[in-house]
Chain A
C-alpha cells in the first residue's frame, strides 16, 4: 500500500513539473518584433535586384535558344503581384519605425512604396493602391485605383519623402545601399521623381499632373531637390562573394549555354564602334581567332527569328555568348536600379522636350561617359567614342534613347522596355517569323489569375473600365494615351 502512495506522490510531482500552457504561446525560434533596419535590408535586397534576363530578351539584347521564350517572342500573358509581397516588408518597416519612434525610416518607406507601385502600375494599369496592404486591417479584397490617381500619389510621396530628409535627419541603420548617407537617399528620391515625370511624357497637357512644371521645379532647385552627381550616387546593390550575396546570375547554366547576344543589339554596338561590346559579349566561336577588340569577331542571332533558325546559326558558331564574367564572377558588377547615366539621359530628354533649359549635349556626354566608366572603359576610349558619336543637333532624341538603351544592358530591370513603350525608341525588331502576338510588341500584362479567384469583382471592374476588349496584352493603359 505504501508503494501505491509513493507512485501517487511521484505522479503529482511529475504533473507539477509540467510547463504551463501560457508558456507555449511564444515562438522561441523567431523574433516577434523587428527593428526597421532589419527590414530595410530585406527591402533593399529585393528592390535593387533588377538583373532580369527576361527584360534582356524583351528589349532585344539577348536571345534564348532552348525553347520558345514568351518574352523574346512577345507571346506573354499574365504577370504576378509579387511586388505587394515586397510592399508588405515596407509596411512592416513603417510599423516598426513608428513603434520605436524612428522617423528617419519614413521617407524611405515612401520611396519604396513609390518604387513598387510604379512597377505594378507600369505592368498592369490600374492596381489596388488606397485599400492595398491592409490585409491585417481586414481588407482582403482591395479595390483597384485608377492609374492616374496612383501616379499622382506616387509623385506626392516622393515629394514628401524629399522634404522629410533634412541635414539633421538621423542616419538609417541596416542600409546596404548607401550606408545610411541620407543625402544620397534624397538624391535618389528626386532622381526617381524625374524618371516618373518623364515616364508621363505623353501626359504633357494634363493640367492636374502638370509634369512639365514639376520636372523643371526639381531640376531648377538643386538645393531643395538634390540629384545624383555621379556613378558613386547610383541606386545600386553591390554583390559579395558570400553565401546568398553573390551576383544574381553567378553559376547560371542557362545563361552560359542557352542565352546568346541579340543581333540587332550587337550590330548597334558594332555600328557605333562601342567598346562596351567587349565587356558585354564573348567573341563568336566562328571568329574566336580574331583579337578581342575586333568588332567583327562578335555576332548575334535574331530575337525575332524562329528558334530553329537561331539554333542553326548558334551551331554554326555565329553567335556571341554573354561575357563569361556574368556567370563566372561571383561579384561581377553591381545591380543598378536607378543610376546616374539614366538620370543624365532623362535630363537630356527634358531639355529636348523643352521642359527645362540647359545643354542637352552636356547631359548626353555625361550619361555616356558615366555608363562607359561603369564598365571600366578607359577615358581615352570614351573620348574617342564621343568624338565618333557626338550628340546630334537634329533628331537628337533617338540618339539619347539609343544611349539609354545601350546603358541598360542587364541593369534597370524592365525600365528600358517601358521607355521604349513610351517613345518607340529604339525600334525593337519584330520582322522575324518567330514573333507571336501578330507581330506586335505587347504593352502590358494580364492580371494574375489569383486575382480572378480571390478578388474577382474588383479586378473585373478595373478591367472593364480600362480595356474595352478585356484583359489584353495589347490594350492601352491610361499612361500610354497621349493627352
Chain B
C-alpha cells in the first residue's frame, strides 16, 4: 500500500507550483495593504502577522528551516508585494500568489539533511473532553493536513520540529510543535463567537451545523434523562420544529411520530433501526439526538431515509480517568390533567328504569345504558328513605327467593379515584467509562420500572450497554457497541374502545350507582374461574376481574449493536467496514378467562401465544478521502457499498376454549388449536457516494448519489438511482455585516429519493398476488382471493424535494433565528387506486397520483439575560405542514372525496342534511335527516405546532420549563361521542332528561323540517335544483331517544373537536451541589432535580387530552412529578 502516499501528493503539488512560477501575477499583491514592523522575529511569526492583516494564507513548500530564519522588517503602511520582497531578500526565497495563497519556496536548493519523517497521532477534544470530529490539522508551512475522525482522532506524517496548526470553526486555533513524542492530546478552547454545533449526519458523519445545506436540530441527551418519558423519543416533543409527536396516554404504546408529515427513520449510531422500537433505547445512554429533517439530509440511507431521520448517538468514554455516573429518577403520576368527566346524577338503566335481574342486560336492566333513574331520590315509602330497586349486590330474600331492593344512590362518584392507583416511573442507571491512549470503553446498566395506574399492570425495561473503541495499530482502529435490552411485563392494559378498555368498564358504561369497590370480589360465589361477578355480564367486564384475570404478557429481548473497522491508508485516505445488527425475540401471551366479554363474545376461556423473531443486518464498506488543502479549501469524498438483509419470522397459536378454567396452556384447548406462521425476508443492495467541498470557510457544497436494488419490487424495475445536492453559504464570512449581525447563512438543497415499498412496515409481499387462507368449515379448508388488481410492472415511487433556509445570529450570538421552507413532490406513488366494485375488485395497485407536501419550520433562540451568575435562555420552535393532492391518476376527477388541489387531510363524514342557511333538517319523526353524501367537516392537520423552552440558571440552580402544543386541526372523539350516546355526559343532565325518564317526549331538535318541494343532487352530491320549503322543526321527541340516535352530533360537529392545546410539558429545577462541598469526598459532581411532566393542559376539547392526536377512548392523561439524582464519581 502507498506508505508514502502523503509525500507523493506533496511532491505532485510542488511540481505543479514550480511549473507555474514563471508566470506569477505580482500585480495583485501591490494592491493589498500591509503593514509590518518586526525586529529579529522568525519568518513564521511574520507570516502570521501578514495572514492576520490580509486574507492570504502563506504556505511554505519545504522543510529547509526557512521558517525559523529571523528577519527584520520595517514597512509600515506598505503593500503586501513590498513586504514580501523585503522578506524574500533577507530570507532568500521565491514566492508566488495562487488564488488566496502565497506559496513560499526557498530560492536556493539547500541540501541540509531533512529530519526523519514519522507518523504521529493524537486526539482533539473540547474543554469538556468531548472528542471533536472534523477538526483540520495542517502542518504549518505545508499543504499537508488531515481531519480528525468521528472520535476526534487523527494521524499525520511529520518531521520533528514541524508545527501543527489546528483550526476548527467556533474554537480558538492552536499550534503544537512536534517533538519526540508520537501522541498528542489537544484541547481546543471555545471561541467566544461559538458557531460550531456539531451534528451527526447521514452515515454517522459528524459535521458542523454551520456547514449544512439542510435543516437539522439537535437535542442533548442530558435534557432527556431528568423529566422522564417511558420512551426516549417522546422526550423530543416540542423540542424540534417540524417533528410532531402524538403522545399517547396509554401505557406501553408507541407515540405516533411524524417529521414533515411522514414517519422518520430511526438511526442508532449510524445503523438504521427499521424495527423502530422506541422503548429499547435508554435515555441514559443517549449522548444526543439529531433530527435530520429533509430527504437530502438522509438521502444516503436510501429509500428508508426519504422521510428524514432521527439520529441517536450513544455515549462514549471521554476522559482518561475512570468515571462512574449514577442517575436515578422517580416520578409519580398522582393526578390527572384530563379525565372524562361523567355525570353523577343518573344511574344505570334506560328511560329512567332499572331493575337488576340476572345481569344479562335487557328489559328493565336497561340494555346496559346509563339512562337510568335519578340517583339519591327521596322516597318516604322505602326503608332507607330513598328510591330502591334490586341491584347486582342485593341480597336474596331467603323467604321469597327474590332480590331485596337497595337504595339507588350515587355511591360510585369516586370510582376513578377508587380504582386507579398512583402510577410510578422509576429509572436507575449506572455507567462506567475510561479511556486510554489506545482506546476507550463505556459500560452501563439500567432499569426502568413503570407501575401503571391500572392495578396489576406494569412495564419493566432493563438494558445493558457496552461501547468501546481501540486502535489496533496506528492505522487500524475499531469501534464497537452492543446493547441488550429486555422489555417485559406480565400485564399491561388493552387500549382502544371496547369491553377490553378500563375506562369503558369503569366510567363510560358503569353508572354512578355502582361503587367499584363492591366489585373487588370478582367471581360469582361457587363459580370461581367460570363466571365473573358484575352488574352486567353481557356487555361489560368487572374492572378488577379484567385487571387480575385478563392478562397480556409481553416479553421482548432486543440485541443491537455494531462493529466498525477503520483503516487509515494515509492521512487523507481511509476505508471503513461497518456492520450493524438489530435483533429481537418477542413472546406474547393473552390469557382470557372464562366469562370475559368481548364484542359479541362471551369467552369460553382462551389462550393465545404469539412469537416473533426479527433480525436485520446492514453492512457498509466505505472508502473515505478527505483532504484539507488549506484552511480555505477542504474536500471530502466517500464512496461505498451496502447490503441490507432482513428476516422476520412470526406466528400465533390460539385455543378457542379452555377445558380447565384458568389453566393457560395450549394443551388445555377444548378444540383443535389454530396456528399461523409467516416469514418475511427482504434485501437491499446499494452503492452510494458523496462529495463535500468547503471553500473559504464560507461555501459548502455536498453532492450525493445512491443506487438501490431492492427485493420488494418486480425484478425488472428493482434498481434505481437518485441524487441530492445541498449547499450552504455563510454570508457573514464573505461580506462585512454590521457588528450586531453576527452570523448569516443561506442554505438550500435539492434531492430525489425513490423507494419500492408501500410502507416499510407493510407486509413485505403485499405487491404480489396470492390467495389467503379462508375459514376452515368443519375441517374443510378454503382460500380467498383479495380485492386488489396487481400491476406486474410496478416502478419505484419517487419524491423530489427542495428546501431553502436562512440561519442568522445577532448580538454576539445572543439571538438566533433559523427559517426553513420545504416542498416535496411525491409521484409514481405506489398507491391503491379505487375502482368500481363492479369490476370485481376494490382497487388497483399502481404507480400513480401526485402529492405535494410543503411546510415552514422556524427555530428561534435568545439569551435575553446574561448578567453575572444569572442567565436566561429561550428557544421557540414553530412549524406548519400541509399535504395536497395535485394530480389524480387514471383521468378521474375525484379520488374518493378529494379533487385535485385539495388538502389530503380533509375530513368527510356522515352528516345530517342542512338547508341553504345551514340549519339541520329534521325528519317527520323529530330526528335529524341523514344526508345521502358524506360531507366535509374540517381539516385534520393542525395549522401550527409549537414549543417554547425557557431555561434559567443562577449559581448552582437551574430551572427549565417547556410548553408546547398545536393550533387547529380536528380530531374525532370517541370518548365524547360515547358519553353523549350512553348517557354519561354531564351535558345530558337537564330537564329534558327528567321528562324522558317520566316517559315524556319534550325535546325538539334545533332545525327545520321540509314542508314541500325537493332537491336534486348530481353525482358529487352537489345540489342541482332545490324547490324545498322549510319550517321550523316542532316535533318533540324523547330526549333519551334523541341522544341514543344522534350522539348529539347535530349540535356537536359530529363529535369532531379542534385539537388546539397548550401543555406545560416539562419542568426541571436542578441544584448542583457546590464543588467545594464535594472536596475530599469521592464525588466529582452531584446534582438533584425536582421534575414534573404534563403538569398543565389548556384545551377546549372536553374530556380528552388532544396530545394523542386521536381519541379512541384513551387512558386518562396523568400528571407526573418526582425527582432526579445524578452523581458522578
- Could you give 17 example pairs across A and B, Cβ below 8 Å? A11-B621, A18-B683, A25-B715, A41-B782, A65-B367, A81-B838, A85-B787, A87-B840, A88-B785, A131-B838, A134-B840, A136-B789, A306-B1041, A308-B996, A311-B350, A449-B932, A451-B837
Tell me the complex Cα distance, A460–B679, Å: 46
Binary CB contact string for chain A from 407 to 451 against chain B (1 if under 8 A, 0 otherwise): 000000000000000000000000001111010000000101111
Q: Which residues of B contact A459 (CB under 8 A)?
A: 1019
A38 within 8 A of B: yes
Q: Which residues of B contact A450 (CB under 8 A)?
A: 834, 836-837
Question: Which partner residue on chain A sits nearest B602 by CB separation?
Answer: A251
* Cβ contact of A453, chosen from B778, B834, B1001, B1040, cutoff 8 A: B834
A34 within 8 A of B: yes
B1017 within 8 A of A: yes
**Which residues of A are in contact with B by a Cβ distance under 8 Å?**
1, 3-4, 7, 11, 14-15, 18-19, 21-22, 24-34, 38-39, 41-42, 44-45, 65-68, 73, 75, 77-78, 80-82, 84-85, 87-89, 91-92, 127-128, 131-136, 139-142, 174, 176, 238, 240-245, 251-253, 256-258, 285, 306-308, 311-312, 314-315, 317, 321, 433-436, 438, 446, 448-456, 458-460, 470
Tell me the complex Cα distance, A214–B924, Å: 46
* Cβ contact of A132, chosen from B599, B777, B840, cutoff 8 A: B840
Question: Which partner residue on chain A sits nearest B932 by CB separation?
Answer: A77
Q: How far is the CB of A306 from chain B (nearest CB, A)?
A: 7
B659 within 8 A of A: no
* Cβ contact of A67, chosen from B768, B999, B1044, cutoff 8 A: B1044
Interface-located stretch among B438-446, B890-898, B1058-1066: B890-898
Q: Which residues of A contact B777 (CB under 8 A)?
A: 41, 44-45, 176, 240, 244-245
Q: Which residues of B contact A243 (CB under 8 A)?
A: 656, 671, 674
Q: Which residues of B contact A258 (CB under 8 A)?
A: 362, 367
Tell me the complex Cα distance, A133–B599, Å: 34
Tell me the complex Cα distance, A45–B160, Å: 89
* Cβ contact of B783, chosen from A34, A240, A285, cutoff 8 A: A34
Q: Which residues of B contact A92 (CB under 8 A)?
A: 785
B892 engages A4 (CB within 8 Å): no
Q: Which residues of A contact B933 (CB under 8 A)?
A: 449
Most buried by A among B715, B789, B838: B838
B924 engages A436 (CB within 8 Å): yes
Q: Which residues of A contact B671 (CB under 8 A)?
A: 241-243
Binary CB contact string for chain B from 597 to 608 against chain A (1 if under 8 A, 0 otherwise): 001111000000
Tell me the complex Cα distance, A314–B366, Å: 10
Q: Which residues of A contact B681 (CB under 8 A)?
A: 19, 24, 28
Q: Which residues of B contact A80 (CB under 8 A)?
A: 837
Q: How far is the CB of A424 from chain B (nearest CB, A)?
A: 24
Q: Which residues of B contact A34 (CB under 8 A)?
A: 771, 783, 785
- Assuming the contacts A176-B777, A449-B933, asked whether A32 and B771 have C-beta atoms less than 8 A apart, the reply is yes
Binary CB contact string for chain B from 1 to 25 against chain A (1 if under 8 A, 0 otherwise): 1000000000000000000000000
Q: How far is the CB of A116 from chain B (nearest CB, A)?
A: 11
B768 engages A25 (CB within 8 Å): yes
B836 engages A39 (CB within 8 Å): no
Tell me the complex Cα distance, A75–B680, Å: 48
Tell me the complex Cα distance, A306–B1020, Å: 33
Tell me the complex Cα distance, A176–B782, Å: 10
B780 engages A141 (CB within 8 Å): no
- Assuming the contacts A31-B770, A176-B777, A436-B925, asked whether A315 and B840 have C-beta atoms less than 8 A apart, the reply is no
Binary CB contact string for chain B from 301 to 326 against chain A (1 if under 8 A, 0 otherwise): 00000000000000000000000000
Tell me the complex Cα distance, A140–B785, Å: 17
- Assuming the contacts A29-B765, A134-B839, A315-B363, asked whether A245 and B775 have C-beta atoms less than 8 A apart, the reply is yes
Tell me the complex Cα distance, A140–B368, Å: 46
A245 engages B768 (CB within 8 Å): no
- Assuming the contacts A24-B681, A78-B932, A312-B999, asked whether A41 and B780 have C-beta atoms less than 8 A apart, the reply is yes
* Cβ contact of A315, chosen from B351, B539, B897, B925, cutoff 8 A: B351
Q: Which residues of A contact B367 (CB under 8 A)?
A: 65-66, 257-258
Interface-located stretch among B132-140, B141-149, B260-268, B706-714: B706-714
B973 within 8 A of A: no
Q: Which residues of B contact A141 (CB under 8 A)?
A: 835-836, 838-839
A27 engages B600 (CB within 8 Å): no
Question: Which partner residue on chain A sits nearest B890 by CB separation?
Answer: A140
Q: How far is the CB of A337 from chain B (nearest CB, A)?
A: 15
Question: Which partner residue on chain A sits nearest B674 by CB separation?
Answer: A243
Q: Which residues of A contact B778 (CB under 8 A)?
A: 176, 238, 240, 242, 245
B residues 1011-1039 near A (Cβ < 8 Å) are: 1016-1017, 1019-1021, 1037-1038
Question: Which partner residue on chain A sits nearest B709 by CB separation?
Answer: A21
B718 within 8 A of A: yes
Tell me the complex Cα distance, A73–B923, Å: 12
B787 engages A30 (CB within 8 Å): no
Tell me the complex Cα distance, A312–B999, Å: 7
Question: Which partner residue on chain A sits nearest B368 by CB separation?
Answer: A257
A242 engages B643 (CB within 8 Å): no
Question: Which partner residue on chain B sits nearest A174 by CB separation?
Answer: B780
B340 within 8 A of A: no
B residues 1058-1101 near A (Cβ < 8 Å) are: none
Q: Which residues of B contact A1 (CB under 8 A)?
A: 1
B840 engages A454 (CB within 8 Å): no
A135 engages B839 (CB within 8 Å): yes
* Cβ contact of B350, chosen from A135, A242, A315, cutoff 8 A: A315
10 interchain residue pairs of minimum CB distance: A135-B839, A128-B838, A41-B782, A24-B711, A455-B836, A140-B835, A27-B765, A81-B837, A30-B770, A257-B362
Tell me the complex Cα distance, A242–B789, Å: 33
Tell me the complex Cα distance, A126–B529, Å: 56
**Which residues of B are in contact with A by a Cβ distance under 8 Å?**
1, 350-351, 353, 360-365, 367-368, 476, 538-539, 565, 567, 577, 599-602, 619, 621, 643, 645, 656, 671-672, 674, 677-683, 685, 709-712, 714-715, 718, 765, 768-778, 780-785, 787, 789, 834-842, 844, 890, 892, 894, 896-897, 923-925, 927, 930, 932-934, 996, 999, 1001, 1016-1017, 1019-1021, 1037-1038, 1040-1041, 1044-1045
A45 engages B775 (CB within 8 Å): yes
* Cβ contact of B360, chosen from A142, A238, A256, cutoff 8 A: A256
- Assuming the contacts A19-B683, A75-B923, asked whether A451 and B836 have C-beta atoms less than 8 A apart, the reply is yes
Tell me the complex Cα distance, A140–B839, Å: 5
Question: Which partner residue on chain A sits nearest B597 by CB separation?
Answer: A253
Q: How far is the CB of B1014 from chain A (nearest CB, A)?
A: 8
A88 engages B368 (CB within 8 Å): no
Question: Which partner residue on chain B sits nearest A328 by CB separation?
Answer: B602
Q: How far is the CB of B305 from chain A (nearest CB, A)?
A: 21
A30 engages B774 (CB within 8 Å): no
Q: How far is the CB of B540 from chain A (nearest CB, A)?
A: 10
B783 engages A176 (CB within 8 Å): no
Tell me the complex Cα distance, A38–B773, Å: 9
Q: How far is the CB of A146 from chain B (nearest CB, A)?
A: 15
B683 engages A30 (CB within 8 Å): no
Tell me the complex Cα distance, A393–B934, Å: 53
B1038 engages A21 (CB within 8 Å): no
Assuming A24-B711, A306-B1038, what are 10 further A-B pairs, CB within 8 angstroms? A32-B768, A33-B771, A38-B774, A39-B785, A41-B774, A44-B777, A244-B775, A252-B600, A308-B1001, A438-B924
Q: Which residues of B contact A38 (CB under 8 A)?
A: 771, 774, 781-783
Q: How far is the CB of A448 from chain B (nearest CB, A)?
A: 7
B774 engages A311 (CB within 8 Å): no
- Assuming the contacts A135-B840, A256-B360, asked whether A307 and B1038 have C-beta atoms less than 8 A apart, the reply is yes
B925 engages A89 (CB within 8 Å): no
A257 engages B930 (CB within 8 Å): no
Q: How far is the CB of A334 from chain B (nearest CB, A)?
A: 12
- Assuming the contacts A21-B711, A256-B360, asked whether A91 and B683 have C-beta atoms less than 8 A apart, the reply is no
Question: Which partner residue on chain A sits nearest B1018 by CB separation?
Answer: A460
Question: Which partner residue on chain B sits nearest A14 by CB separation?
Answer: B619
Tell me the complex Cα distance, A42–B678, Å: 22
